Amino acid sequence: MELMLQKELAVRSLGDSEARLRAILDAAVEGILTIDERGIVESMNPAAEKIFGYGAEGIIGRNIKMLMPTPYHEEHDGYLENYRRTGKARIIGIGREVSARRKDGTIFPIDLSVSEVRLADRRIFTGFVRDITERKEAERALLHFAAMVESSEDAIVGKTLESRITSWNRGAEKIFGYTWKEMKGRHISILIPDERADEEPMILERIKRGESVEHYETVRRRKDGKLIDISVTISPIHDADGKVIGASKVARDITERKRLQKEILEISDREQRRIGQDLHDGLCQQLAGIELMSQAVAQKLADKHGEHSKQVAEIAGHVRDAITHTRSLARGLSPVTLESEGLMSALQELATNTAKFFNVVCRFEFVRPVEVPDHAVATHLFRIAQEAVSNAIKHGKATHIVIQLKKSYDRVCVMVKDNGSGLPTEVSKSKGMGLRIMQSRAGMIGGNLTIENNRGKGACVVCSIALKTPLRRKENPRGSIKEKSQR
> Per residue in 258-276, pLDDT tens?
888 778 777 777 777 677 6
Cα–Cα distances in angstroms (integers) from residue 208 to residues 162, 188, 245, in the given order:
11, 16, 8
User: Is the pLDDT at 286 greater than 60, yes or no?
Assistant: yes
* Mean pLDDT on 229-240: 92
Whether the Cβ atoms of residue 464 and residue 479 lie closer than 8 Å to each other: yes
Most confident of 353-362, 411-420, 440-449: 411-420
Whether the Cβ atoms of residue 416 and residue 388 lie closer than 8 Å to each other: yes
User: For residues 359 and 406, what is the distance between their CA atoms, to the nearest angstrom?
Assistant: 26
Closest CA to 328 of 367, 303, 354: 354
* Mean pLDDT on 218-247: 93
Cα–Cα distances in angstroms (integers) from residue 482 to residues 217, 220, 233, 479, 486, in the given order:
9, 17, 11, 9, 11
Specify the pTM.
0.53
Sign of the CA dihedral with 316 first, then 317, 322, and 328 last: positive
What pLDDT score does 474 carry?
36
What pLDDT score does 3 carry?
54
User: Is the pLDDT at 68 greater than 90, yes or no?
Assistant: no
Own/partner pairs for 101-109, CB < 8 Å, 24+ apart?
101/66, 101/67, 101/68, 101/69, 101/73, 102/51, 102/52, 102/53, 103/52, 103/53, 103/54, 103/58, 104/53, 107/69, 108/133, 109/133, 109/136
Closest CA to 370 of 405, 338, 335, 339: 405
Of 84-93, 175-184, 349-358, 361-370, the one with minimum mean pLDDT is 84-93
Whether the Cβ atoms of residue 369 and residue 375 lie closer than 8 Å to each other: no
The tens digit of pLDDT for each residue in 190-211 reads 999 988 888 899 899 999 999 9
How many distinct helices (H) and strands (E) make up the chain? 15, 15
Going by pLDDT thresholds of 50, 70 and 90, the confidence category of residue 483 is: very low
Percent of the chain with pLDDT over 70: 80
What pLDDT score does 161 carry?
94
User: Is the pLDDT at 96 greater than 50, yes or no?
Assistant: yes
Q: For Cα atoms 443, 445, 446, give the angle at the middle one, nearest 5 degrees.
A: 60
What pLDDT score does 75 carry?
67
User: Is the pLDDT at 183 greater than 90, yes or no?
Assistant: yes
Per DSSP, 63 falls in state B
Instruction: State how far Cα 275 lies from the chain centre.
Output: 40
What pLDDT score does 414 carry?
95
What pLDDT score does 477 carry?
36
| Residue with more model confidence, 407 or 289 | 407
| Residue with more model confidence, 321 or 184 | 184
Cis bond upstream, residue 477 (ω within 30):
no
User: For residues 188 and 464, what is the distance between their CA atoms, to the nearest angstrom?
Assistant: 24
| Residue with more model confidence, 436 or 472 | 436
Going by pLDDT thresholds of 50, 70 and 90, the confidence category of residue 319 is: confident
Q: For Cα atoms 254, 258, 263, give the angle at the middle one, nearest 5 degrees.
A: 150
User: For residues 423 and 486, what is the distance between their CA atoms, to the nearest angstrom?
Assistant: 6
User: For residues 138 and 144, what is the distance between their CA atoms, to the nearest angstrom?
Assistant: 10
Cα–Cα distances in angstroms (integers) from residue 309 to residues 138, 290, 322, in the given order:
94, 15, 20
Instruction: State how far Cα 349 lies from the chain centre.
Output: 40
Q: 466 - beta bridge partners? A: 411
What pLDDT score does 190 carry?
94
Closest CA to 60 of 43, 76, 79, 82: 43
Of 132-146, 235-249, 379-393, 458-472, the one with minimum mean pLDDT is 458-472
Q: 379 - beta bridge partners? A: none
What pLDDT score does 65 carry?
87
Q: Where are the alpha helices (DSSP H) in 63-176?
A: 72-86, 133-151, 170-176
The tens digit of pLDDT for each residue in 148-171 reads 778 888 999 999 999 999 999 999
Instruction: State how far Cα 18 lies from the chain centre.
Output: 62
User: Is the pLDDT at 293 greater than 80, yes or no?
Assistant: no
Of 5-9, 388-392, 471-475, the one with minimum mean pLDDT is 471-475
User: For residues 364 and 345, what is the distance between their CA atoms, to the nearest angstrom?
Assistant: 10
Question: What is the average pLDDT score of the chain?
Answer: 80
Cα–Cα distances in angstroms (integers) from residue 136 to residues 107, 132, 148, 262, in the given order:
13, 6, 18, 50
What pLDDT score does 252 carry?
93
Q: 448 - beta bridge partners? A: 464
